[in-house]
Structure 1
Amino acid sequence: MMMQLVVVEDEYIQLEEYRILCEQYLQGEQYKITCYIDAEGLQEHMKLGKPIDILIMDIRLSNANGIELAKQVKRIYPHTAVIFISAYLEYAPFVYEVDHVYFIYKKNTLNRFPKALAKAIKHYHNKERNILPIHWKKEVILLSIPDIIYIEREGRKTNIIMCDEEQTVYQKIDDIMNQLPEDLFIRIHHSFIINFDYIRSFSRDKIIMKNGKELPVSRSYKKTAKEKIYHLMDESMV
C-alpha cells in the first residue's frame, strides 16, 4: 500500500522546500506527495475521498486556520499522522487540541523535519495493518480491522459485521480478503471470512462467534480452516 502524504503551505517556496525534504527522507518507502497552497485544495481532496496518511500542515494560512483544518481531517481520517509547522510559537499550545505527532518551529525546520517525518512514518506503519479502506459510492471509508467480527458475501453485496456497526459494500469478498492480515482472518466458506479473535466455539461444520452468530464451514474450506484455527490457537498460547 502506497503511503499518501499531503502538504499544505500557502508560501510556494516553503511548500516546495517541504516536498523536497520529504523526498530526501522517504527513500525506500512507497509514497505519493500531494501539495496544496490553500485550504480549498485540501478540502476538495477530502471531498473526493482521497487518502491522507501523513498531513504536514502550516498553521497560519492566508485564508484558514491550519489547526481547524487538521480537526476536519482527523474527523474523516482519524489515523492520519499530523505534523504542524509554524513561524509563530504562540500557536504551540493550541496544537494539543488535535492529536498530532510533531510541532515544528519554522526556524528549526531543517533540524526537526527528519525527526518529525520519522515519527509520522512509524505511526503510519504501526497503523497500516489495522485499517481497511473500503469504497462506498464516491467515498473511501476507513474501517478498524480489529473491530471486524466477520464478513459475509450476500448476492452482489459484501457485508462487514463489526463490533458496533455494519458496512455494506460492492467489493468482492476475495478482494477484501487480500487486504486483511493472514494471521487474524480465516476463510471458512465461499461466502464467509471470520476474525479468529471473535470465535466463541467451533466444531466440524460450524463456528459460533462471540456475538452469537452461527456460521457454516463449507466442505471445501473445512481442512484449511481447521488447520489455521489450531495454528492460531497454538500461537496465542506461546
Structure 2
Amino acid sequence: MEPAHKIKCMAVDDEPPALQLIASYIAQIDSLDLIFQTTNSMVAYNFIRQNEVELLFLDIQMPGLNGLDFIKSLHQKPTVILTTAFREYAVEGFELDVLDYLVKPVKFERFLKAVSKYSQLIARPSQEIIAEKPSVADEMYIYFNVNKEMVKVFLKDILYIESIKDYIKVITTGKTIVTYQRITYIEQKLPENSFIRIHKSFIVSLHNITSFKGDIVQIGHLKIPIGRFYKKKFVDFFASINK
C-alpha cells in the first residue's frame, strides 16, 4: 500500500557515484520521493528556492557553494541530513541544527537510521501530551545560541549534555543542538536538584537516569561514563536521597 504522503526529498552531491547511491537508497523506501537530484550546488539552491523540499540530503565539500554555506543561505530550511567524508565538520553541522550526519561511504543501515529519525520528528507533534496544570519544574527552560538564533529548550527535555572542546552538545528527547559554550558555565546555570556532572565531559539529567552501575550511568539505551573525580559526589548524592 502506498503511504498517504510521500516525503519530498532532494539529494545534492558533486560526486555522481555518491549521489546515485543516495538516490538508490531513497528509491527503496516507499515513504520517500526523490523530487530532484543534482551535482551542482547552485542549481540545487535555485531549485529549493522555488520548490517545496521536506528532506535534504546534502554533501558538505562542493565547489562554488559548499554544504554548510548552502544551509546558512536558506531562509526557509528543510530538514537536512549531511553526507560527507570528513568527520571534522560534525560540530558545525549540528550547530546549524541538521538532523543527522552520514559519513561516506554511507551504508544502507545507517541511512535507514537517519530516515527513521526524520519519521519520529514529524510524528512527534501529534503524539505530544500537554498537562492541564504543568508544574513549575515542567515550565523551566533555558535558551541556547544556535547559529545566532536563540533556541528555547525545556529543562525536563534534556537527557544529557556533552562537552566537545569549546562547544557543548545538548541532547534532548526531541533534538540535538550544538552551541559555543563551556560545560563549566552551563553547569552553574542548571538546578543542582535536577542535573549532576558525572564526568569532565558529561552532565546528566537526574530525572532521566534509568540505572547506574560501577562507572556507568544509563539513560535509556545510552551508557555514559562516570569520571573518577566525580564518582564520590555522584554516589553521595544518591546515598543522601535513599536514606
TM-score class normalised by the smaller sequence:
0.3 to 0.5
Q: TM-score, normalised by structure 1?
A: 0.47
The answer to which structure has the higher helix fraction is 1
Larger radius of gyration: 1
Q: TM-score, normalised by structure 2?
A: 0.46
